[in-house]
Amino acid sequence: MQTLLTEGDLLDENGKLVQAGYATSLVKKYDRSKIKASKLRIKEWDYYAVTDGKIFLCLTIADIGYISMASVNLVDTPARECTTGVAVGLLPLGKTGFPSSYERGDVTLRVGKRKLSFVNDGIYRRLYCEFPKFKDGKTLVADITLSDPQKDNMVIATPFKEKDTAFYYNAKLNCLTASGYMELGGARLDFKPESALAVLDWGRGVWTYENTWYWGSLSCYVDGVKFGFNLGYGFGDTSAASENMLFYDGTAHKLDNVKFEIPMVPGGKTEDFEEEWKIKDDKGRLDLVFRPDLDRKDGMSLGFLCTKQHQVFGGFYGTAVLDDGKEITLNGQRGFAEKVYNKW
């Protein structure tokens, strides 16, 4: 059962979701002031991943109550290298100032000399990054403009069974056209609009303390046409809808349930994230092999606050079937798939 969201407020007067389900635009209005939960439980973030098909520049501004965070990941898939920079502030409790919509609004986070800024005037999105001592003492600077949004996006409102005022309101904007540059210590990479694309992960919600999610994302060209997908599961009550969606030439094609088959290390107790994955849906429309280039492993444990992240970048191979039966063949287009565990 896939429930389509209708227009209106996201939360009622008691801070509960008015409706669970999915949409292809931001039909529900998010209002942080209507949340009935501790500010420590509210999690908000904007995450952008920009790629030319080989290099990924991933930029995040997040406010998870306990901390605010500006993070940068530079992933070189041919070289199988990843560099990460993180700047953290304490107890922002919502003061970071995220906009209530992905359609327009700005957010900036500066920690010391490190700065990330996302400016959105409703037509163009400008991503600006300035991170001193990012790698080998060199400063990373990036200035990227995103344009040409798709007609359809993935939007989902997900409740949690454990607590009726917990929810996640999420949007994924795939296949945004990217242009601009990044420069690291004098070495410059230009993102050209005919080949560079980006995805936005826009998240707002009240999360339960312990959870795990799986997420896969692709934004690419297939035979000169923009194609992408958003795949995910693992947390919350998804009985009303899943977040699984294909995108072809700006139009969404809804999938039901998807599963990531991650191989296990010998002995079968932990996953081997750098071996070949299989990704399939339950209706025979998605049949993919994911071949990793590298596992961007990250983790933190502060007692009450813990995260274990495996964001794996690599190539997707196989087929995806659109609503009209058209079959899309992938032959190594680069994206990522991840498993993340949080206590937060």
Query: Quick one: pLDDT at residue 267?
Result: 85
CB proximity list for 130: less than 8 A, separation 6 or greater? 113, 114, 115, 139, 140, 141
* DSSP string over 235-295: SS--SS----EEEETTEEEE---EEEEPPBPTTSSSB-TTSPEEEEESSSSEEEEEEEEEE
What are the extents of the domains in the chain?
A: 8-343
* Model confidence at 304: pLDDT above 80: no
* Model confidence at 339: pLDDT above 90: yes
Query: Quick one: pLDDT at residue 268?
Result: 78
User: Is residue 188 classed exposed, middle or buried when 0-12, 13-18 and 19+ CB atoms within 10 A define those classes?
Assistant: exposed
pLDDT in tens, 63-77: 999 999 999 999 999
Mean pLDDT of the chain: 97
* Model confidence at 257: pLDDT above 90: yes
Q: For residue 53, what is the enclosing H or E element?
A: none
How does residue 91 score in pLDDT terms, banded at 50, 70 and 90?
A: very high
Q: CA-CA distance, 224 to 244, in Å (whole number)?
A: 23
Query: Quick one: pLDDT at residue 20?
Result: 98
Q: Find out whether 202 and 26 touch, Cβ atoms under 8 Å.
A: no
Query: Quick one: pLDDT at residue 1?
Result: 72
Kindly report the CA angle at 76 between 73 and 79, in degrees rounded to 5?
140
Q: CA-CA distance, 184 to 140, in Å (whole number)?
A: 5
Cross-strand bridge partners of residue 219 = 228
Q: Residue for token digits 């599961």?
A: 233
Q: Find out whether 83 and 73 touch, Cβ atoms under 8 Å.
A: yes
Q: CA-CA distance, 339 to 298, in Å (whole number)?
A: 11
Q: CA-CA distance, 72 to 70, in Å (whole number)?
A: 7
Query: Quick one: pLDDT at residue 214?
Result: 98
